[in-house]
Amino acid sequence: MRFGKEFVSKMIPEWQEAYIDYAYLKTILQDIQASRKTPDSNSQKKPSLTRNLTKRYSRDASVSESHDIVVNTVTRELETSYETTFLKPGEAAGNSEVAFFRTLDREFNKVNSFYRLKVDTARNEALALNKQMDALIAFRLKVMEKKNPSISGSVSVDINALGSSSNSREEHRVALADLMRNDENERTDSQLSILERIRMNKTRETPLSAIKTILKVHKQEELKFTKENLKKVEERLQIAFIEFYQKLRHLKNYSFLNVSAVSKITKKYDKIAARNAAKLYMEMVDSSYLTCSDEVHKLMLKVESTFIEHFSNSNRSQGMGLLRPKVNRERHRITFSTGFFFGCAISLIVALALIVHARHIMGTPGQRTYMETMFPLYRFFGFVVLHMIMYAANIYFWRRYRVNYSFIFGFKQGTELGYRHVLLLSFGLGTLSLCAVLLNLDMEMDSQTKDYRTFTELIPLFLLALVIAIVLCPFNILYRSSRFFFLSVLFRCIAAPLYSVNLPDFFLADQLTSQAQAMRSIEFYICYYGFGDFKHRRNTCRSNNIFRTFYFIVAVIPYWLRLLQCIRRLIEEKDLGHGFNAVKYLLTIVAACLRTAYTLNRGTTWNITAWVFSGVATFYATYWDIVIDWGLLQRGCKNSFLRDKLLVPHKTVYYVAMVLNVLLRLVWLQTVLNLQFSFLHRETLMALLACLEITRRGIWNFFRLENEHLNNVGRFRAFKSVPLPFNYQEDGDHDN
């Protein structure tokens, strides 16, 4: 792999604007190379910029005449920057070489300043973690004294100061010896003084804590010295240390990558321009803060020693295993299993088509009965499989265009599913569903009993129960971490008013709005097996008043949840944008209810009202999708009708996506126009329209997360904020 591609692949996506612009510097080198082949007649004249540079910086007497550049250190407002003077501007390609060093200086100064800023932030975080460790150690001692009063004052602990500069083992031993020589009473008083100044932050949100937040109740807990509270504190601090260590690793990698980029580009310059400037420039780089500062290295050593001592019982291998990032490796068996289930699914589809053709099932009374009873049961799995395939495609393209979906969704590091994993699950479920369809394809009743076999009629119910059991399975199989993450977010969506709304919450709720027909299939399961005559395949649900009532309710539940989420965000964030978003879902709820009422009752009045509200809701939602969620159709940007920053290089993709979004949002026209196709059963038509909506949602997913990613890039937001367990009293005054 060439360095340019490796450089891009190892970037932190949210910091990409803060890296050396290696690609642009290479284009300048190409200009230099072209200019040296065809020297410009005007190249003998020094440009005004070069004259200004040479006037501003007099050449040092110690500089050899053979040198090509002089690197000057400039200090402005306590900030150090570097400016390079090119000493031979009158030669061929001199203008391009001056531009090269001017750009290289600007890029390096940008990197150096950014790195210094991030190191300062890391230093402050280290001091905060140090205070948290002081409180944790005091808390531990208090719990031990409460459990066994006889050990009071007899336990000595080394409080590892993260913010200090000492890091050697000898200093560690000396500090420990000094600590043990301290007077035990003074140590106990110090510990008690720490405990008097702290309170526990209640970082795990529950419905009760959400209500307290709404009512402005103080979001802190009194100190209770129990083993349960100690365990909670240790878990929170462990997560905070791991996250902080990852930040330090990223900073170290940031420094190494940019220094490597400068080294590579200056060597390329020397080779192309036949100069000897790389050595001089790299001497400046080696003396800069980016290279010579060892604060990040020291902080990493201190985090390691503190974490190993206090969170892994001084077991270094165990502690480093927790600190280092977990890599979710793609395994060959995943690829093989995905291909195997895909082949099985295709084979079963072909077998199903051949059986239907051989038995002449199409057009028979049995076929119409099947479409009214069994098809609505099985299509639920088709909707789920299609949505999973679209999500797998999203993951593939997110990774291809370096959208940090794992960070945006807040997945636990190393547990996020790749597109192969999702395809494996989708094709596996598809294969299982198709097997059930083939087992349940018999269209004829028993000639003696005039009913269908009970076992085969219960196959869809067994399949649904199996899928639910797998999702809820507590054992560590079939991606338990991802299943539990999905269930926790789903619960937060259901309890929307009682939780603060995060991106995964409203993202999943938006997915549910595209699965209205799947939710109606669940309703049909309950009606068909609970109140229907499934042994004779008689569908009495549509004549059931309760079913008809819930037919309205089920379709609007996802939109209702999104409405509640928008209201919650409006109350918390005081942002009117969430109020306008709530209006969108309110209009959609009204339109969906009117369309459902028209399908059940018919009539001109229902038709007109359904038209009006559906049209307004569609226009509003389309505008919101394209302008707000996707960030497109921006004025004054360099890309017509798009936005300035685009991840996909082909602009046509964005225009096609906008057109498709508009067209696919108009599938509701089938409801009010009452379109009928002789070759399609009504249930089949509804299923196809639902599949189109799922496809639209899959397209929306990519551009929605792309826009979110670009917002994070604009703010250099690459790490999630981890709530700390303790709040010092002096800090709490500022928070409340």
The mean pLDDT of 697-720, rounded to a whole number, is: 87
Q: Which of 626, 685, 637, 686 is nearest to 660 (CA)?
A: 626
The most confident of 173-177, 368-372, 621-625, 727-731, by mean pLDDT: 621-625
Span 446-489, pLDDT tens digits: 555 556 777 888 999 999 999 999 999 999 888 999 999 999 99
Residues 386 and 270 in one domain: no
**Residues 352 and 371 reside in one and the same domain:** yes
Instruction: Tell me which of 271 and 362 has the higher pLDDT.
Output: 271
Return the axis-axis angle of helices 459-472 and 480-494, rounded to nearest 10°: 100
Residue-wise pLDDT for 522-555, tens only, equals 999 999 898 877 877 888 887 788 888 888 888 8
Note whether 104 and 265 are within 8 A (CB).
yes
Judged on CB neighbours under 10 Å (0-12, 13-18, 19+), 331 is exposed
Which has more pLDDT, 220 or 46? 220
The DSSP output letter for 44 is G
Mean pLDDT of 175-185: 47
Residue at 731 is within a domain: no
237's tokens: 């601090």
CA angle centred on 708, ends 705 and 709, rounded to 5°: 85
Cβ atoms within 10 Å of 387's Cβ, excluding its own: 21
Task: Please compute the mean of the pLDDT values over residues 652-663 and round it to a whole number.
Answer: 96
**Shared-domain flag, residues 266 and 345:** no
User: Containing H/E element for 221?
Assistant: strand 220-221
What is the C-alpha to C-alpha distance for residues 404 and 413, in angstroms, rounded to an integer?
12
| R_g of the chain, CA atoms, integer Å | 33
Among candidates 493, 554, 486, which has minimal Cα distance to 519?
554
- Residue closest to 12 by CA, chosen among 125, 115, 120, 128: 115
The single-letter code of the amino acid at 576 is L
What confidence tier does 413 reach under pLDDT thresholds 50, 70, 90? confident
- Which positions ≥6 away from 35 have C-beta within 8 Å? 43, 92, 93, 95, 96
pLDDT of res. 203: 57
Question: Could you give the percent of the chain with pLDDT greater than 90?
Answer: 46
Residue 256 lies in a domain: yes
Expressed as residue numbers, the domain containing 89 is 1-325
What is the rounded distance in angstroms from the CA atom of residue 177 to the CA atom of residue 193?
A: 23
- pLDDT at residue number 75: 85
210 touches 191 (CB < 8 A): no
Cα 639 to Cα 175: distance, rounded to the nearest angstrom: 61
Q: What is the pLDDT of residues 566-585, one digit of tens each?
A: 999 999 889 999 999 999 99
Provide the 3-class DSSP secondary structure of residue 197.
Answer: coil
Say which residue, 649 or 359, is predicted with more confidence. Answer: 649
Give yes or no for a contact between 71 and 84, defined as CB atoms under 8 angstroms apart: yes
DSSP of 672-685: HHT---TTS-HHHH
Residue 724 covered by a domain: no
CA 381/CA 433 separation, integer angstroms: 7
SS3 198: strand
Residue 334 has pLDDT above 70, yes or no: yes
Amino acid present at 719: F
What is d(CA 550, CA 51) in angstroms, rounded to the nearest whole number? 81
Q: Is the residue at 721 inside a domain? A: no
Number of neighbouring beta carbons within 10 Å of residue 685: 14
Torsion, Cα of 260, 264, 269, 270 (10° steps): 100
Residue that terminates a domain, selected from 325, 341, 371:
325
Residue 278 covered by a domain: yes
Task: Using the predicted structure, report yes or no on whether residue 54 has a pLDDT greater than 50.
Answer: no
Residue 727 lies in a domain: no
Highest mean pLDDT: which range of 363-367, 531-535, 695-699:
695-699
- 212 CB-side CA count, 13 A: 12
What letter represents residue 624's amino acid?
A: W
User: What pLDDT is attached to residue 345?
Assistant: 96
CB atoms within 10 A of CB 262: 25
- Looking at the fold, whether 411 and 302 belong to one and the same domain comes out as no
What total number of domains does the chain contain? 2
Q: What is the mean pLDDT of residues 160-168?
A: 45
Q: What is the pLDDT of residue 88?
A: 80
Question: In terms of pTM, does the model score above 0.85?
Answer: no
Task: Count CB-CB contacts under 10 A for residue 593.
Answer: 18
Asked whether residue 271 falls in the same domain as residue 368, the answer is no
Q: Tell me which H or E stretch contains 453.
A: none
**Is 70 exceeded by the pLDDT of residue 365?**
yes
Averaged pLDDT, 238-267: 93
Range name among 47-51, 61-65, 72-76 with the lowest pLDDT average: 47-51
Whether residue 236 is predicted with pLDDT greater than 80 in this model: the reply is yes
Which pLDDT does position 185 carry in this prediction? 52
Tell me whether strands 69-76 and 79-86 are parallel, antiparallel or unpaired.
antiparallel
Query: Do 236 and 113 share a structural domain?
Result: yes
State pLDDT tens for residues 595-620: 888 877 777 888 888 899 999 999 99
Beta-strand relationship, 198-201 and 220-221: antiparallel
- Over residues 621-641, mean pLDDT: 91
CA distance 389 to 409: 19
Residues 403 and 341 in one domain: yes
pLDDT of residue 174: 47
Write out the DSSP string of 63-104.
S-TT--EEEEEEEETTEEEEEEEES-TTSTTHHHHHHHHHHH
Specify whether 318 is located in the same domain as 353.
no
Q: How many CB atoms lie within 10 A of CB 204?
A: 9
Give the pLDDT confidence score for residue 714 in this predicted structure.
73
Look over the chain and give the mean of its residue pLDDT values, rounded to a whole number: 83
Q: Tell me the two tokens of residue 211.
A: 């209500």
- Per-residue pLDDT band for 45 (boundaries 50, 70, 90) equals very low
DSSP letter string over 705-736? HHHHHHHHHHTT--SPPPPPSEEEHHHHHHH-
Residue 730 lies in a domain: no
Tokens matching residue 122? 């890391």
C-alpha 289/C-alpha 575 separation (Å) is: 41
Q: Which of 234-243, 444-453, 697-706, 724-733 has the lowest mean pLDDT?
A: 444-453
Mean pLDDT check: name the lowest of 30-39, 142-151, 274-283, 447-456.
447-456
Domain C-terminal end among 325, 355, 387: 325
Give residue 555's pLDDT. 84
Task: Report long-range pairs for 436-439 (Cβ below 8 Å, ≥24 apart).
Answer: 436/378, 436/460, 436/463, 437/348, 437/352, 437/378, 438/348, 438/351, 438/352, 438/355
- Examine residue 241 and state whether it is found in any structural domain, yes or no: yes
401 and 340 assigned to the same domain: yes
Residue 736 confidence (pLDDT): 40
State the Cα–Cα distance between residues 201 and 179, nearest whole angstrom: 29
Q: What is the band of 164 on the pLDDT scale with cuts at 50, 70, 90?
A: very low
Helix (H) or strand (E) segment spanning residue 200: strand 198-201
Residues 433 and 309 in one domain: no
Q: Give the pLDDT band of residue 337 (cuts 50, 70, 90).
A: very high
Specify the pLDDT at position 167. Answer: 45
Which of 33-47, 77-91, 454-468 shows the lowest per-residue confidence on average (mean pLDDT)? Answer: 33-47
Helix or strand holding residue 566 (H, E): helix 545-573
Given pLDDT bands bounded at 50, 70 and 90, which one contains residue 431? very high
Q: Which residue carries 């083939």 as its tokens?
A: 438
Asked if 492 and 430 touch (Cβ cutoff 8 Å), the reply is no
> Rounded distance, CA 651 to CA 188, Å?
67
Cα distance between residue 702 and residue 700, in whole Å? 6
Asked if residue 580 and residue 515 are part of one domain, the reply reads yes
Structure tokens at 330: 């793609």
Instruction: List the structure tokens of 441.
Output: 């394809």
- Provide the pLDDT for residue 180: 45
Residues 194 and 148 in one domain: yes
User: What pLDDT score does 290 carry?
Assistant: 93
Are the C-beta atoms of 641 and 633 separated by less than 8 Å?
A: yes
On the 0-12 / 13-18 / 19+ scale of CB atoms within 10 A, 562 is: buried
| Last residue of one domain, picked from the residues 325, 350, 372 | 325
Tokens of 682: 């009504």
Contact 499, 492 (CB under 8 A): yes
Taking alpha carbons only, the member of 277, 260, 253 closest to residue 108 is 260
* Residue 155: per-residue pLDDT: 42
